[in-house]
Amino acid sequence: MAGTGTGQDEAGTGTGRDEAGTGTGRDTWITAAMTLLARGVSPAEMKVADLCAVMPQPLTRGSFNWHFRDGRLAALHREIIGRWQAERTAACDTIRSERDLAQLLAAAHGPADSAMRRWAAAPPPAGAAARDVHRQLTAAVAQVNQAITAHLDAALAHMGFRGRKAAGLAAALAAAFAPAGPAAPTAPDAFKVLLAVLRGAAAPAGAREVQEIDGDDGEILLVLAARNVPPGQLAGLRQAARQFLADAGQ
């Protein structure tokens, strides 16, 4: 069997080569896993057969067992976590423009990150090795969230927001782009801070804005009027709006 090249890895000859003799290494398997991750496949759902299906050349389970003999799937999971975290951290460190930040947020909402967050949100599996992987995973997701929040904070500061306002908005935006799994830690008063920012951005009292007024037969009239019009004045606005439409031939 050894002469056929079909079982050398499984037998543990020490060559570390695939059966085609091309010298495929551990990194090739990790790249295959990252390809599946980019398609939205959670690492917890990956099987060796799935990895073989996206390999550039035919490989068998024996090659995988050889290259990950230090823990099989658990060892591969640790590699996936490390590579994903490194890629996201590098993306944070290279943000130089609003476009870079937008791309980072898009990635945080993409298939790979969603799969990682689903994986992290699942109950910890049984077994010491699997629990260690889960701890590494949740820590990595938390660190990536913190990095994204920090860069959002910096971007908002550049826009003119400062201190608690910038931090509160950054946390809210980061959570919005992390729909599944552990979100970035949020301060207890983050909602109050965000509300204060929104209030500050609202139109000043007495400013005019488009108001919706119920008309006849289910129609809705849109009029430009002061905010918080007293109910007693709505009838007058309705009549004025209808008169305007009549004069315009509507």
Domain that holds residue 242: 208-247
Judgement on whether residues 88 and 131 belong to the same structural domain of the protein: yes
Provide mean pLDDT across the span 14-36. Answer: 70
pLDDT tens-digit profile of 100-133? 777 777 777 789 988 999 999 998 888 888 899 9
Name the average pLDDT for the chain.
74
Same domain, 151 and 213: no
pLDDT of 224 > 70? The answer is no
Same domain, 94 and 64: no
Mean pLDDT check: name the lowest of 12-21, 32-41, 84-93, 178-187. Answer: 12-21
Which of 29, 53, 69 is a domain's end point?
69
Residue 210 has pLDDT above 90, yes or no: no
Which regions of 62-158 does DSSP assign to beta strands (E)? none
The verdict on 169 and 223 lying in the same domain is no
Give per-residue pLDDT as tens, 166-204: 777 777 776 665 544 444 444 555 555 654 665 565 555
- What percent of the chain has a predicted confidence (pLDDT) above 90? 25
**Are residues 52 and 9 part of one domain?**
yes
Do residues 99 and 15 share a domain?
no
**Which of the listed residues 69, 92, 111 is the one where a domain comes to its end?**
69
* End position of a domain, from candidates 23, 47, 69: 69
**DSSP letter string, 141-166:** HHHHHHHHHHHHHHHHHHTT--HHHH
Which residue bears the tokens 């995988």?
A: 64
How many domains, the chain?
Answer: 3
Identify the pLDDT of residue 11: 33
